[in-house]
Amino acid sequence: MNIQKQQLEDLNKHDLQNHKSHFDFLAQSLSKSGTEVDGLITKLADFQVAIPSWALGAGGTRFGRFSYGGEPASLEQKIEDIGLIHRLTQTAGAVSLHIPWDVPNDYNSIKELAANHKIKFDAVNSNTFQDQKNQKVSYKYGSLSNTSSAVREQAIAHNKEVIEIGDKLGSKALTVWLADGSSFPGQNNFQTALTHTQNSLISIYEDMPTDWKLYIEYKPYEPNFYSTVIQDWGTSLMLANGCGERAYTLVDLGHHLPNTNIEQIVSVLMLKGKLGGFHFNDSKYGDDDLTVGSIKPYALFLIFNELVYGMQNNPQNPELGWMIDASHNVKDPLEDLIQSLEAIQEAYAKALLIDQDALRSAQEANDVTLCQEIMQGAYRTDVRPLVREARLRSGGVLNPIEAYRKLEVRKNLINERGSKTVATGL
């Protein structure tokens, strides 16, 4: 489906006056209190988040999957879908490929297609949590940590192949998420499993081109339920340090036990220059992969406060690889992604409103009440006019969900692709 510039302009025309009056009012009051509004809007417009190639079809649970009409059946169609979201939001300018779910057939034409949609290739993800057809040995009892060297070597070779694929596309990072662990006490020797994992990661790291980064993702449980080899940020950081300078920890918001203080983890990692990748989603209980900001928007804001602080004060930390890692089985996947992007932009805008100098002085003076006032003053500001203005200035639409529906995107995709296509992914 192609969306013409004129269509977007017509959609915006309808809301423009209303938007302008909200925006002018907010911009004026923010300027009065010292916020540099144009600079803030440029930051919002520059913030781009990668969409994983597996999130464009309906997500499943272990109990079932209810597919959605018009799902993309090929990598080309997935990139077209990201192109549609990017056209409306101007915030989704990258794709993160999962291999082997989405191996390109023709590299040049995929690159050309992505460039036409202004989509870059972000981190590539390896998959050693599922067995693939014709695979020699099984990952049933782990991959990089497996007791068998044949399995470890196969998993290492897969990661190296993923690097090669990513290299051909212009990616600059590899994300490793391992399902390795144990489901029953005594099943694993913790020390052996960790040592194997470290050695396997070193072998992968050493194979990366010198301008690549390695992102090591942690997760406390699932699919294993007793132990996970890379269970937390400390283990990930230790492994990253064991690999070298260009290895980093990746924080996935859903990969924490309930009530973990994720903002503090973010802060410590950035201080150490070791936060590399970031996966957005939301959750109530575990790795629920729900729409960003749908359950705990205040926590997301607090996390963004630390990210903003780190981006401004920690030059030792690299630029982050941002990705949405969310997918579920009840909403239109594209509408869901648009909502996630909106929540990310809102939390970022609110964090940018925090008066850092005032907060620092209140902290120095141990004025706890004032600290809270500053934080919540920013959080309670309705920043949607700023987010809309950023989209407008970059050529997107004021109201992406409304536009998506008015343009009948899903209906068009079903007409083009049929209602029975199924996207690769979980």
Minimum CB–partner distance for residue 295 and Mn ion (Å): 15
**Segment 240 to 269, residues that bind ligand RM4, using CB under 6 A:** 252
**Interaction of residue 125 with ligand RM4, rule CB under 6 A:** yes
Please, which residue, 256 or 388, has the CB nearer to ligand RM4?
Answer: 256
**Interaction of residue 346 with Mn ion, rule CB under 5 A:** no
**Segment 332 to 351, residues that bind ligand RM4, using CB under 6 A:** none
H or E element at residue 276: strand 275-280
On whether the CB atoms of residues 315 and 271 are closer than 8 A, the answer is no
DSSP strands (E only) in 196-272: 213-217, 227-228, 247-252
Residue 80 interaction partner, one of ligand RM4, Mn ion, none, beta carbon < 5-8 Å per kind: none
SS3 377: helix
Distance CA(61)–CA(106), nearest Å, equals: 32
**Interaction of residue 180 with ligand RM4, rule CB under 6 A:** no
Total residues contacting ligand RM4 by CB under 6 A comes to 9
Residue from 81, 252, 263, 346 in contact with Mn ion (CB under 5 A): 252
**Interaction of residue 322 with ligand RM4, rule CB under 6 A:** no
* Segment contacting Mn ion by CB under 5 A, of 39-47, 317-325, 340-348, 358-366: 317-325
* 184-206 CB burial, b ≥16 within 10 A, e <16: eeeebeeeebbebbbebbbbbbe
The DSSP symbol for 119 reads -
Please, which residue, 180 or 325, has the CB nearer to Mn ion?
Answer: 325
Q: Both tokens of residue 176?
A: 């490793």
> What phi-psi label fits residue 70: left (phi over 0), alpha (psi between -120 and 50 degrees) or beta?
left
H or E element at residue 52: strand 50-52
Residue from 71, 122, 232, 287 in contact with ligand RM4 (CB under 6 A): 287
* Segment contacting Mn ion by CB under 5 A, of 22-30, 49-57, 67-75, 250-258: 250-258
β-pair type (227-228, 181-182):
antiparallel
Minimum CB–partner distance for residue 325 and Mn ion (Å): 4
**Interaction of residue 424 with ligand RM4, rule CB under 6 A:** no
**Segment 184 to 223, residues that bind ligand RM4, using CB under 6 A:** 217, 219
On whether the CB atoms of residues 61 and 329 are closer than 8 A, the answer is yes
Residues binding Mn ion (CB under 5 A):
252, 279, 287, 325
Binding site for ligand RM4 (CB under 6 A): 125, 177, 217, 219, 252, 279, 287, 325, 426
